[in-house]
Chains A and B, each alone.
Chain A
Amino acid sequence: MIEGALEAAMTFFPRGTIQYLVGGVMVAVGIAVIYLGTAIIPGNSTFLETTLSYVSNVPRFNRPSYIASRDWRVVFAFSIVAGAALWGLVLDPGPFVTSVQPWRLFGGGVLVGIGTRIGKGCTAGHGVCGLGSASTTSLVNVVLFVGVAIITATVVAALGVTP
């Protein structure tokens, strides 16, 4: 019984489970700190649009609420970079460099940028905050993006694209 459970854990969680749970809790605690202090629910993808308002005259990016929040969203994004660096460069040995090819990163990034803006949120907004809010809209979005991503990644791998 116990051996079977351990075997299953090794199959489905070859890297272990603790860092996933602890990391996930920390992601939510980071959001909760800002939320409890300010009532703002800080997602991660609005940063893209609000930051574009610095360099673009397109009305979409220059809505008053975007102009008003763009400064702290930049601070927030850089703090995420710094927090990650604290673990990734200071406490954990050595930098990590992905071997996923640049065209996948760029092409996928373009679609992610379009998709989160059309779909009203990203993995943090819908996946963490929306699900945490028991939002049906977020549940629909998450089920769709996880399902489509599984299909996409499987197809990409089947086409022999590695990494």
Chain B
Amino acid sequence: MSRDADGSTTDRHPLFLPLVVLGGLIQGFGLAYSGMARPEVVLDFLQFDDLGLILVMGGAAVVSGMSFYIATHFLDRAPLSSDQYGRRTRSMDRNVAIGGVVFGVGWGVSGICPGAAYASLGIGNLPILWAIAGMFVGAYIQGYLRSRSQTESSHSITADD
């Protein structure tokens, strides 16, 4: 049973999907509970009216940092995939900066990012479908242009998150 870092394999561990569901449920609950599924709360942060988002992102980063540290230092291989644990690192290049700026404008206009948008749908916020539709359109535009320019530029950049 082997798989690459994206979880691709023809014969997955029977607990693979249940674990994905469990992780998604916990994350979605956390996003809703923290208020991040409400664009208003994010926009309040961006205008310094409520700094709660720092606690959410900071608390989450500390806990994920702990799990990465424990796994990479003390654990051998993941039980459901036999893959080695790693940290989340990406190579630095101009695209990281450009993407950060474009993302920042979009986040500042809408108060919404991908995970929070999915969670927002869960709390009954149907207008968020506008944001989700927009994200698909944006991802399509980017992917379409990237595919067209692939022949011109030889270096390919991966984005896996």
| A111: B residues at CB distance < 8 A | 102-103, 105-106, 109, 134, 138
With the chains together, A127 CA to B24 CA distance in Å?
A: 17
Provide the B116-131 mask, 1 if CB < 8 A to any CB of A, else 0.
1111111111111011
Interface size on A, residues (CB 8 A): 127
Docked-complex contact B31 and A89, CB < 8 angstroms? no
Whether A24 touches B57, Cβ cut-off 8 Å, given contacts A89-B123, A130-B90, is yes
Docked-complex contact B30 and A52, CB < 8 angstroms? no
Q: How far is the CB of A53 from chain B (nearest CB, A)?
A: 9
Docked-complex contact B115 and A150, CB < 8 angstroms? no
| B87: A residues at CB distance < 8 A | 132-135
Binding site for B on A (CB under 8 A): 12-15, 17, 19-49, 51-52, 56, 58-61, 64-69, 72, 75-89, 92, 94-100, 102, 104-138, 140-154, 156-157, 163
| B43: A residues at CB distance < 8 A | 100, 153, 163
For B96, give its contact among A88, A123, A141, A154 (CB under 8 Å). Answer: A141
Label chain A's interface by main secondary structure: helix
Known: A33-B26, A47-B114, A111-B102. 18 other contacts (CB 8 A): A12-B51, A20-B59, A28-B62, A28-B63, A36-B67, A46-B160, A72-B17, A81-B119, A86-B25, A95-B124, A98-B128, A109-B138, A112-B112, A115-B106, A119-B102, A132-B65, A137-B90, A148-B101
Docked-complex contact A109 and B16, CB < 8 angstroms? no
Binding site for A on B (CB under 8 A): 3-9, 15-17, 19-41, 43, 46-53, 55-68, 71, 75, 77-81, 83-92, 95-128, 130-144, 146-147, 150, 157-161
Q: Which residue of A lies closest to B109 (CB)?
A: A108
| B31: A residues at CB distance < 8 A | 23, 27, 80, 83-84
Docked-complex contact A26 and B26, CB < 8 angstroms? yes
| A94: B residues at CB distance < 8 A | 124
With the chains together, A78 CA to B86 CA distance in Å?
A: 26
How many Cβ-Cβ contacts under 8 Å join chain A to chain B? 584
| A33: B residues at CB distance < 8 A | 19, 22-23, 26
| B123: A residues at CB distance < 8 A | 84-85, 87-89, 92, 95-96
Docked-complex contact B67 and A117, CB < 8 angstroms? no
With the chains together, A104 CA to B121 CA distance in Å?
A: 16
Docked-complex contact A77 and B118, CB < 8 angstroms? yes
Whether A77 touches B25, Cβ cut-off 8 Å, given contacts A29-B30, A59-B147, is no
| B22: A residues at CB distance < 8 A | 30, 33, 79
Docked-complex contact B124 and A88, CB < 8 angstroms? yes
| B161: A residues at CB distance < 8 A | 41, 43-46, 116, 120-122, 124-126, 129
With the chains together, A136 CA to B17 CA distance in Å?
A: 32
Docked-complex contact A37 and B59, CB < 8 angstroms? no
Docked-complex contact B102 and A49, CB < 8 angstroms? no
Docked-complex contact B101 and A144, CB < 8 angstroms? yes
Query: Quick one: which of B27, B48, B55, B124 has the most chain A CB within 10 A?
Result: B27
Q: Which residue of A lies closest to B144 (CB)?
A: A58
Q: Which residue of A lies closest to B100 (CB)?
A: A144
